[in-house]
């Protein structure tokens, strides 16, 4: 309830202002008798009320336009985040199933770029489109697991670099361990609904225009 009120403070203040101003005008005209004669009161009151309604309509349109714009921006950024997370998942899945020793450096580089995109999104949007998103538990958990995936993959890269022979038993063992560790991270994301909860947090900021 409180969250709903906060989201609509602009409307609440605008309508309260209209009610208060209208009440004051009627009080002045009919109780305080600042103008004598019904005809004179109506002649002054009607254009005054028309002016107030006109100003009210202009302000109301401005609030609606602002909310529409925010909705569009938030919706677009939400879609960008969905695409980004899908890219990360696809990248990891493809490299787990079609793994080649020669692409490990490219995998680490791509993961770094994608993780930075995720971090920068939350950093830049936390005070504007998605205020407070970085403090949400789902955002913290998702960031933590993505960072673990990156760090574990980079560790795997270093293990490969330390081996002179690509087909040595050690590399095969490192590959199995990396595969199992990454699989456990992905399983944690899925079973604990971390990505789902994070996207739901973003969706909660959307306001139907």
| Rg of the Cα atoms in the chain | 29
- 18 within domain boundaries: yes
- 165 within domain boundaries: yes
C-alpha 107/C-alpha 139 separation (Å) is: 23
- 187 within domain boundaries: yes
Does residue 175 surpass a pLDDT of 90?
A: no
Structure token digits, residue 18: 């209209």
Number of domains in the chain: 1
- 209 within domain boundaries: no
Q: Which residue in the block uniquely carries the two structure tokens 């739901």?
A: 200
Contact 29, 35 (CB under 8 A): yes
- 32 within domain boundaries: yes
C-alpha 164/C-alpha 174 separation (Å) is: 14
Domain residues for the domain of 107 are 2-203
C-alpha 187/C-alpha 159 separation (Å) is: 24
- 130 within domain boundaries: yes
Residue 25 has phi, psi (to 5 degrees) of: -60, -45
C-alpha 67/C-alpha 205 separation (Å) is: 11
pLDDT of res. 37? 74
CA distances from 105 to 144, 155, 161, 178, 189 (A): 22, 11, 10, 14, 24
pLDDT tens-digit series, residues 57-94: 999 999 899 888 889 989 998 999 999 999 998 888 88
- 208 within domain boundaries: no
- 96 within domain boundaries: yes
pLDDT tens-digit series, residues 125-141: 766 788 888 888 998 99
Q: For the ranges 11-15, 51-55, 171-175, which has the lowest average pLDDT?
A: 171-175
Angle at CA 82, nearest 5°, toward 77 and 84? 90
């Amino acid at each position: 309830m409180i969250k709903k009120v906060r989201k609509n403070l602009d409307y609440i203040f605008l309508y309260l202002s209209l009610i208060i101003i209208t009440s004051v005008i009627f009080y002045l005209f009919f109780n305080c008798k600042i103008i004598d004669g019904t005809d004179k009161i109506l002649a002054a009151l009607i254009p005054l009320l028309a002016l107030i309604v006109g100003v009210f309509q202009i302000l109301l349109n401005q609030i609606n336009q602002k909310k529409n714009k925010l909705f569009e921006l938030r919706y677009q950024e939400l879609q960008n985040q969905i695409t980004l997370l899908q890219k990360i998942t696809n990248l990891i899945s493809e490299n787990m199933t079609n793994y080649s020793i020669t692409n490990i450096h490219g995998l680490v580089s791509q993961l770094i770029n994608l993780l930075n995109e995720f971090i920068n999104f939350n950093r830049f949007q936390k005070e504007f489109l998605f205020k407070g998103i970085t403090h949400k538990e789902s955002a913290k958990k998702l960031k933590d697991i993505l960072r673990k995936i990156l760090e574990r993959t980079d560790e795997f890269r270093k293990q490969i670099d330390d081996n002179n022979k690509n087909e040595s038993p050690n590399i095969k063992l490192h590959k199995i361990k990396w595969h199992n560790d990454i699989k456990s991270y992905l399983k944690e994301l899925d079973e604990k609904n971390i990505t789902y909860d994070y996207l739901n947090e973003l969706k909660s900021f959307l306001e139907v225009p």
